[in-house]
Amino acid sequence: MKKIILTTLLLGASLFAVDGYKVYQKTCKACHVEMISVAETMKQMKTLKAPPMVEVAHQLKDTIIIKGDKADDEDIHRFTTIAFIKNYLQRPSLDYFMCNPGAVDRFGIMPAQSHLNEEERQAVAEWIYDRYEDVEFK
Ligand code: HEC
């Protein structure tokens, strides 16, 4: 019996696990293009509503630097970047935005995405970090 309950719980958890890409498609895609080249970004600048997500991902990853003993710890870098994104979705601010200042001049600060719950914010932040591993913005 215990086994059946546990299996059901595990199945349930994986069935209801939030898919970060789906959150992106539903909530972020309207403003952030998923994949585009630098040249194409320049061309489409007039119709874009926000910096492309590939650029955002690189900008954040390059800006967040872990120093000291843990400098090369990728898990800490990933965790810290995801934590920043999750927080930014609730409280975007001119005081600590990390994206390109030119993007803020052009598009303004992002509207808070506070309609997302904790799981959705976690899933989409993880998706942003992992989606662009080994993908260049050039
Ligand atoms: C209405 C348009 C709009 C939507 C929808 C939107 N964003 Fe943004 N986002 C922006 C703009 C504009 C910027 C650039 C200015 C800034 O950083 O606040 C931005 C910047 C960002 C940044 C960079 C933050 C920084 O440090 O500067 C992240 C990360 C981000 N968005 C994630 C998301 C995610 C994830 C979603 C969906 C859940 C989303 N955005 C939905 C407009 C949007």
**Within-domain flag for 110:** yes
Distance in Å, CA 5 to ligand 1 centroid: 41
* pLDDT tens digits along 2-52: 676 666 666 666 667 999 999 999 999 999 999 999 999 999 999 999 999
**Beta carbon of 48 within 6 Å of any ligand 1 atom:** no
Which residue puts its alpha carbon closest to atom 15 of ligand 1?
A: 109
Which residue puts its alpha carbon closest to atom 6 of ligand 1?
A: 28
pTM greater than the 0.85 cutoff: yes
**Within-domain flag for 5:** no
**Beta carbon of 59 within 6 Å of any ligand 1 atom:** no
* pLDDT tens digits along 82-119: 999 999 999 999 999 999 999 999 999 999 999 999 99
**Within-domain flag for 7:** no
**Beta carbon of 135 within 6 Å of any ligand 1 atom:** no
Q: Which domain holds residue 87?
A: 18-131
**Beta carbon of 26 within 6 Å of any ligand 1 atom:** no
**Within-domain flag for 10:** no
Can you list the pairs that 83-89 forms with residues at least 24 positions away whose Cβ atoms lie under 8 Å? 83/125, 84/60, 85/60, 85/121, 85/124, 85/125, 85/128, 85/129, 86/121, 86/122, 86/125, 89/113, 89/114, 89/116, 89/121, 89/124, 89/125
Number of domains in the chain: 1
Count other Cβ atoms within 10 Å, centred on residue 118. 10
**Within-domain flag for 109:** yes
**Within-domain flag for 44:** yes
